[in-house]
Structure 1
Amino acid sequence: MKNSDQPSIFKQKLLHWANQFDVCCFLDSNHYKDQYSAYDFIVATGVNAELKSNYGDAFEKLKTFQKENKQWLFGFFSYDLKNEIEDLHSDNLDKLNFPDLYFFIPAYLIAVKDGKIEVLVGDKDVLDEINDIDRAFLPAKNGAVLPASKIGKNDKRKAKSGLDIKPRLTKDQYLDKVEHLKKHIIRGDIYEINFCQEFFAENAFINPIETFEALNMLSPTPFGGYFKLNDQYILSATPERFLCKRGNKLISQPIKGTARRNIDPIQDHKIKYALKNDLKEQTENVMIVDLVRHDLTKSALKGSVKVDELFGVYSFPQVHQLISTISCDLNPEIHFIDAIKNTFPMGSMTGAPKIKAMELIEEFEVTKRGIYSGSFGCINPNGDFDFNVVIRSILYNKQNNYLSFQVGGAITYHSDAEKEYEECLLKASAILSVLESEI
């Protein structure tokens, strides 16, 4: 087995090799220490079998697919599977057109843990092919490479990025919607809601894999990943785990609470301390913890749901985040895919009460979420799985050259609309930097 390259070089070669296939999935922990992650990074590519479905009976189809193929499965769940779980609908604008559910059995599966490379599926000789990729033909890690023919000659910003990022809502519209949502909170309709807005670019010509590499380098996160489904792409720098299964244990790690990083270590430490002790941020977090506990109870052995960590502060390149960990023992009478269904969509991206929050999300947001605030990840042959939350992610449809990313946050009674808008821009900062654009 040829394994002379440095891990970072091998990772780049592996990703570019996988990208030659019509379908591939790359999951990267970016060296974050996490007791539940099975590998440092893993690549699945090529299709031996696949399942594509829109909502209706998608989870049942996945159960059948998994039962008939007890192999590695990689795929994603769209947020709009909520319409299968509850009496809901999704009628907002959608220019990305991802399926609601997609899973595939890879022809090749290569994983790396502590520097050791394993070919889990496929011919092991493929490592020679990957290692023989000439580094001279790999792009420099400096962002998307755009054809000159697609760049406006008289537009300096376009000449740099080729993209004209626009907000789907004006700032005033966003502020007005937040104030109206707060009225629902005052009336007691909801306690908290995750309200999001879209930023988009039409006629967007990007190189998806190089754009992802730039994003992953600027904003490395523990659940980052790249998913290619023909001409549809997820380029993700998400810091959040939706749900993980290890043995008979389910683990969920919702994020609620955000603070900007500071280059001054002393100031940065103060910001981190203030976040951990901020009553508003704690309130947002504990509401979602209670929601996740409730969701897990549907699949848990009685009395096994517990909060392993409350208000943990974790630091990422652009932000500090408040993350809690909730776990339970899976009831052996509950199929693990039903356990996913019982917690979907994740509470951190909906609100409480969950169904009413999702109804108001549909009413006040103007773009269909689709894969945004959905999830992608993998299921192993034994039924263990790990799925992220699709946030801090660029979504791209190469067929119509439409690029989109959404950002949002928790709206509560104590929310300040101006500060919520600024938090949205903070969460978008890494993506805007990679796309060399501004709002």
Structure 2
Amino acid sequence: MKNQINISDFKHKALNWANQFDVCCFLDSNQYKDIYSAYDFMLAAGTAKELNASANQTFEELKTFYDQNKQWIFGFFSYDLKNETEDLKSENPDYLTFPDAYFFIPEYLIASKNGKIEILIGDNTVLKEIEAFKLPQQSKSKNLTIQQRLTKDAYKAKVEALKQHILRGDIYEINFCQEFFAENAEINPIHTFELLNDVSPTPFAGYFKSHGQYILSATPERFLCKRNQKLISQPIKGTAKRSLNQAEDLRIKKALRADIKEQTENVMIVDLVRHDLTKSAVKGSVKVDELFGIYTFPQVHQMISTISCDLDPSVHFIDAIKNAFPMGSMTGAPKVKAMKLIEEYEVTKRGVYSGSFGCISPNGDFDFNVVIRSILYNATAKYLSFQVGGAITYQCDAELEYEECLLKASAILKVLS
């Protein structure tokens, strides 16, 4: 069933309605035009079935879960599933304690395309429920003292140490991140997400609630999607700040497009993604559809490339996700050595940060983002966290890398203040 509705009002009310459930997921393109998105937004609420995967079996159990149900599935993969795909470990402190993966089949699923609302799971009474739903009073965030796990000097010293690994030939590039956090944090997750989505609307934004654990995301990056037999990955490498002066903003954008350092970082990750897709592709079908595309968001310009392939019919699409996970833009090259050094030099377990959340459709198409520019919140532990990072190459300047971290954190810091 399809209806014409004020979409902005509907999204606000529907998200508050969905938040009554222990589990819900909202995926929002914020009206960005994207040829691969099936819907402008999707809202899944309630759990008809859940998958809490056991250690070392996540991808196999998800495969079985999909094959047995062939239904819409929503969920997230944490970065630490790297330990299932490679001989790696995660021993840094984990203050959020999210599961390594969580998936559910919703009781209700609402989607929208071109201003029309569609009920994909459930019946029309759900729209009446949403319309009649009384919005709760907005509680304000309390006790938010944002701290940094690393001092500026400690961050820069680690960057210099990583550059020595590059000089020795251990790696070419590494994605190095740092955590901002708040203890005894009490926030209104929906209000915080909506503020973030207003300040920084992005094409793969989302709200994920699972039993008191929340992902509030303004991510601009797609990890991997499947449309029919085609796989598409769109890694981001290359960032430049916006200017309020239109002429200067255009100059910054052109300078990013021509920046050799940023191009070098981007092409390394493009090669890595090509290699990851080759494991799942019809031979000879991997191609770079767009190299060094420049895309503009409220706080930053980003350099984004698009790589695609045809999925080998003998490869299960869940294995294609596994073969590309974690995403190259958040690891480095060579991938395994970079992940070992990430574990050594970072001081917090990444968990869901630089993992992915999204959905799988009944026909086996899927779309998953990259969890960056995102607030992670454990309401029971009252612990709030977000991480930011960037690509470290031998040419990089530690001071500038630190400034880029603050630029990437700016939207979240603005919202939390």
> TM (normalized to structure 1)?
0.93
Q: Distance in 1 between matches of 2:394 and 2:212?
A: 42
Q: Distance in 2 between matches of 1:318 and 1:46?
A: 34
Q: Distance in 2 between matches of 1:108 and 1:50?
A: 14
Q: Distance in 2 between matches of 1:138 and 1:4?
A: 25
Preserved CA contact (<8 Å) 2:2 2:117: no
Structure 2's unaligned 5+ residue stretches are none
Q: Distance in 1 between matches of 2:131 and 2:32?
A: 25
Give the structure 1 partner of residue 41 of structure 2.
41
1:408 alignment partner, one of 374, 383, 389: 389
State the 1:55 CA deviation: 3.7
Q: Distance in 2 between matches of 1:206 and 1:390?
A: 20
The secondary structure found in structure 2 opposite 1:372 is coil
Structure 1's unaligned 5+ residue stretches are 152-161
- Aligned amino acid, residue 127 of structure 2: L
- Aligned amino acid, residue 145 of structure 1: K
- Aligned amino acid, residue 372 of structure 2: I
State the 1:53 CA deviation: 2.0
Give the structure 2 partner of residue 357 of structure 1.
338
The secondary structure found in structure 2 opposite 1:47 is coil
Give the structure 2 partner of residue 288 of structure 1.
269
State the 1:377 CA deviation: 0.1
State the 1:333 CA deviation: 0.3
State the 1:252 CA deviation: 0.0
Give the structure 1 partner of residue 93 of structure 2.
93
Cα RMSD (Å) = 1.2
State the 1:132 CA deviation: 2.4
The secondary structure found in structure 2 opposite 1:422 is helix
Give the structure 2 partner of residue 299 of structure 1.
280
When the two structures are aligned, how many residues end up with a matched partner? 417
- Aligned amino acid, residue 103 of structure 2: F
State the 1:131 CA deviation: 1.7
The secondary structure found in structure 2 opposite 1:53 is coil
Q: Distance in 2 between matches of 1:233 and 1:54?
A: 21
Residues 7-39 of structure 1, C-alpha deviation per residue, up to 9 Å, x if partnerless? Answer: 100010111110000000000000000000011
1:145 alignment partner, one of 93, 115, 140: 140
Q: Distance in 1 between matches of 2:4 and 2:64?
A: 42
1:377 alignment partner, one of 326, 350, 358: 358
Instruction: Please state if 1:229 is matched with 2:210.
Output: yes
Task: Map 1:173-322 to 2 at 5 A.
Answer: 173-322=154-303
The secondary structure found in structure 2 opposite 1:326 is strand
- Aligned amino acid, residue 392 of structure 2: I
Q: Distance in 2 between matches of 1:133 and 1:231?
A: 21
Q: Distance in 1 between matches of 2:87 and 2:5?
A: 52
Residues 73-115 of structure 1, C-alpha deviation per residue, up to 9 Å, x if partnerless? Answer: 0000000000000000000010111111110000000001111
Residues 261-304 of structure 1, C-alpha deviation per residue, up to 9 Å, x if partnerless? Answer: 00011000000000000000000000000000000000000000
State the 1:5 CA deviation: 4.2
- Aligned amino acid, residue 91 of structure 1: E
Give the structure 2 partner of residue 366 of structure 1.
347
Instruction: Please state if 1:7 is matched with 2:7.
Output: yes
Preserved CA contact (<8 Å) 1:55 1:80: no
Q: Distance in 1 between matches of 2:175 and 2:212?
A: 29
Instruction: Please state if 1:123 is matched with 2:123.
Output: yes
Q: Distance in 1 between matches of 2:53 and 2:406?
A: 33
- Aligned amino acid, residue 399 of structure 2: E
Runs of 4+ in 1 over 3 A off after TM superposition: 1-5, 137-140
Preserved CA contact (<8 Å) 2:219 2:371: yes
Give the structure 1 partner of residue 56 of structure 2.
56
Residue identity over aligned pairs, in percent, reads 73
- Aligned amino acid, residue 25 of structure 2: C
